[in-house]
Structure 1
Amino acid sequence: MDAIVVAVTLAGVHLNLVPTFIALFALFYSAINSRISFAVICLTSLLGAIIFYLSTFFLFGFHPYFEATSQELTVITLLGLVMFITIGNYYQHRWVKKISQQRQHYYDQMTRYIAFANQLSRYAPLQLWQSIMRGEAEAKIEYKRKKMTVFFSDIQGFTELSETLIPDDLAFLLNDYLSHMTEIAKQYEATVDKFMGDAILIFFGDPNSQGVEQDAKSCVEMAIAMRQQMKLLRERWKKMGYSALHIRMGISTGYCHVGNYGATHRMAYTIVGRDVNLAARLQYAAEIDEILISDDTYQLIKSDFLCAPKTPIYLKGIQGAVKTWQVMEKYTGNKSDHQQWFDYEYKGFHLVLNLEEVQNYEYPELVEVLEKMIQRIKVQQTLVNTQGVAQLRLEDEVKPINIDEEQDQV
């Protein structure tokens, strides 16, 4: 519209120098302030040229152009320019102020929504909340079957302890314990499913996974870190006058169903399956401060962790005897120090030892047999010299005869 007005005006004044210059200046000033693209400016200029030609042809005629401007027209033109700039700046200031207010309003709303989202995220697993915020997951009833590693732990004797503590002390101990354990789980990128009193259900493999084997190793390493942290907490609590507390942990690996369960208006992201129940039963069967794992988990982590076999046990809700392992520590330094398999053969000697097949109650008998072998080898070593010739006892040895001494005696 501005281009049409300017084109008609310039045709009316026959391109007098001062009005023409000021009109073009005002037009380009407005275009730059409005941040109009170069292509639009070119199209507008072409439209203005066409309107100027048509106005000249049909309205004002082809009179001499570029004549000197009269003093009155010059003054009027300059006053118009001043008014144009003043009014333009006024409306531009109002527009900028309005945009700034809208931007601040949207920023405040976004900050408020982010604060609300952060508060709500504390009631759901961090990985799930991040997936939903990134648009990678939807809040709807769905689940999937995956091979995952499940972790279950609780505080031994916490139920009895709750009968002796006042609610405030009980809440302090529980929140202190859960906050530290959850922070460790976060470091290992685990998904914290739920808290059930002093019990914690954690799993690896969804929504983020590093592979089944690495998930199992991360879970076991997390359990070791929790056991170490519990030692520190136990010492601190003892100094505060509380009784010593210990944890029990169970880990199992297998196929589970994970996803959103419930109703459309109230759902929970959780995991279900046999191995969830197995992890809970292993935790219940574990001794204090023990990490008890299933054989499936052991097969995935045995290259990185030292484990001791346990007697197969029967667990409630689990069919048949369950082979279990106790996690001792993570391998450090030379793995030969924790070698599980020995196969050594030499002339007259062949030893095959697989510690993975030996139960802990069989260790004394195994040590006794090996000690007998060592003792017999030591005895045999005293009966044979370095050349392999049998040695007589000292009293049976025959002294060598010196012929020169016998001749002297004769």
Structure 2
Amino acid sequence: MTSMTKKKARRPQLGPMERARRQANYIRLLAFLVAAMILMAGLKLNLFPELYMLGVAGLLIYPMSAQGLLFLFDKQDRPTKTVHQLLMQADAMVIGLVCALLHFALVPAMVLLIIVHANSVSSGGLKPWLLNVLMTGVGALLMGWMLGFQVLSPEQTPVLLSVISMLGLGIYVGASSAFAHLQARYLKQAQELVGRQQKQAVDMSRKLAKYLPPQVWGSIFSGKRDAKLETRRKRLTVFFSDIKGFSAISEELPLTTLTKMLNTYLSEMTRIALRHGGTIDKFIGDAVMIFFGDPKSEGAQEDAYRCVLMAIEMQEQMKLLRQRWQREGIDHKLEIRIGINTGYATVGNFGTDSRMD
């Protein structure tokens, strides 16, 4: 016996758009089932010759063929939008043929016209609907010409045929309403999915932004700079700084105190650098590397001027930080050393396709 603990293979879940397309195919099938039902009722009431059974068979075969064509295109990853539009016009032409087969009986013909044209308006809009009207007329004229334009007057139309037609219309309207409700739900699910993905992307970009200079992050996410290996020569003003005697101090201070002090220092230096437009390249322990001139530049002279102003402000800020640390019990007289140079450098992305700097 087959083990009861064996799990059944799960079918892959369909996306909202795929489910909506399948629902649309079911609605097409239902529309032609209604048409076949009306024509079959006319045959049972002896209004039409037995040869019209071929028309009933065609109304049952056509939607199956249309669904098979859509499935074939979808399986081959070919665009199905054009096929959908062509099938919509073919639907209208077939309904025109059926109206002629019904000898243009008023109520049955009106029911079929309402079905096909309501579907075209809801699915395509005004332009496809006008084309649908044309194709319906072509189908009706073609079949009417072949049959000699026989017309069944309202007095000759049995009440039962009209009742069956209205019943078919009611079934179609109910199914279409349910389909519209499902489409709205699928659309809501798709919007919620897109919203979650956008939120995840925003959260991820905010996290990644903390590891990149704001200028570099902004140029990448705006599309101005691509993440590929490329370099170029530019004139930069480069700033280096470190804390004098920091290695010795790090051996004396407790880890928590050292971490708090270093984070405070780097936060203050970062704030000043960003205010002056500097691109923070990296932190190496207590050392800071900043450059001016890439990815944005105000000109070599202005870049150098801003860098010097930044360095002066950092020195002034360091005096305030020493006073603060002294109040917290850190008696070491911390000073920063700064080096600035202006010249041509090769800038860009270095490394490999999987890891760049």
- Which category describes the TM-score, using the shorter chain as reference length? 0.5 to 0.7
Any unmatched runs of 5+ in structure 2?
1-89
Distance change >3 Å, CA 18–CA 246, structure 1 → 2: same
Task: Please point out which of 58, 63, 67 is paired with 2:146.
Answer: 58
Whether 2:340 is the aligned partner of 1:251: answer yes
Aligned to 1:84: 172
Aligned to 2:268: 180
Task: Please point out which of 132, 150, 173 is paired with 1:44.
Answer: 132
Residue 149 of structure 1: how far off its partner (Å): 1.0
Aligned to 1:271: none
Separation in structure 1 between the aligned mates of residue 355 and residue 159 of structure 2, nearest angstrom = 81
Residue 127 of structure 1: how far off its partner (Å): 2.1
Q: Secondary structure at the match of 2:228?
A: coil
Whether 2:308 is the aligned partner of 1:189: answer no
User: Are the equivalent residues in 1 in contact too, given 2:95–2:139 (CA < 8 A)?
Assistant: no
Whether 2:350 is the aligned partner of 1:261: answer yes
Q: What's the C-alpha RMSD, in Å, of the aligned pairs?
A: 2.4
Q: Secondary structure at the match of 2:212?
A: coil
User: Are the equivalent residues in 2 in contact too, given 1:15–1:67 (CA < 8 A)?
Assistant: no
Q: Which amino acid aligns with 1:71?
A: V
Whether 2:240 is the aligned partner of 1:146: answer no
Q: Secondary structure at the match of 1:79?
A: helix
Q: Which has the higher helix share?
A: 2
Aligned to 2:101: 12
Separation in structure 2 between the aligned mates of residue 22 and residue 215 of structure 1, nearest angstrom = 77
Distance change >3 Å, CA 63–CA 141, structure 1 → 2: closer
Distance change >3 Å, CA 74–CA 259, structure 1 → 2: same
Aligned to 2:300: 212
Q: Which has the higher contact order (CA 8 A, sep 6+)?
A: 2
Worse-superposed segment, 16-25 or 155-164: 16-25
Residue 140 of structure 1: how far off its partner (Å): 3.1
Task: Please point out which of 107, 117, 121 is paired with 2:195.
Answer: 107
Q: Secondary structure at the match of 2:211?
A: coil
User: Are the equivalent residues in 2 in contact too, given 1:31–1:41 (CA < 8 A)?
Assistant: yes
Separation in structure 1 between the aligned mates of residue 139 and residue 277 of structure 2, nearest angstrom = 69
Distance change >3 Å, CA 265–CA 27, structure 1 → 2: closer
Separation in structure 1 between the aligned mates of residue 322 and residue 340 of structure 2, nearest angstrom = 23
Greater radius of gyration (CA): 1
Cα offsets for 1:75-132 (capped at 9, x unmatched):
2222112111111122232233233323323332333233333323322323223322
TM-score scaled by length of structure 1: 0.59
Q: Secondary structure at the match of 1:265?
A: coil
Q: Secondary structure at the match of 1:262?
A: coil
User: Are the equivalent residues in 2 in contact too, given 1:155–1:246 (CA < 8 A)?
Assistant: yes
User: Are the equivalent residues in 1 in contact too, given 2:237–2:291 (CA < 8 A)?
Assistant: yes
Q: Percent identity?
A: 40
Distance change >3 Å, CA 56–CA 211, structure 1 → 2: same
Cα offsets for 1:137-193 (capped at 9, x unmatched):
233333211111111122233223212101111111111111221122223332111
Separation in structure 2 between the aligned mates of residue 90 and residue 133 of structure 1, nearest angstrom = 42
Worse-superposed segment, 49-58 or 36-45: 36-45
Task: Please point out which of 247, 257, 273 is paired with 1:169.
Answer: 257
TM-score scaled by length of structure 2: 0.67
User: Are the equivalent residues in 1 in contact too, given 2:105–2:151 (CA < 8 A)?
Assistant: no
Q: Which amino acid aligns with 2:342?
A: T
Distance change >3 Å, CA 26–CA 247, structure 1 → 2: same
Any unmatched runs of 5+ in structure 1?
269-410
User: Are the equivalent residues in 1 in contact too, given 2:239–2:340 (CA < 8 A)?
Assistant: yes
User: Are the equivalent residues in 2 in contact too, given 1:147–1:253 (CA < 8 A)?
Assistant: yes
Aligned to 2:159: 71
Aligned to 2:290: 202
Q: Secondary structure at the match of 2:136?
A: helix
> What is the count of residue pairs matched by the alignment?
266
Worse-superposed segment, 102-111 or 196-205: 102-111
Distance change >3 Å, CA 80–CA 228, structure 1 → 2: farther
Q: Which has the higher strand share?
A: 1
Runs of 4+ residues over 4 Å off in structure 1: none
Task: Please point out which of 108, 121, 124 is paired with 1:32.
Answer: 121
Q: Which amino acid aligns with 2:209?
A: S
Q: Which amino acid aligns with 1:148?
A: L
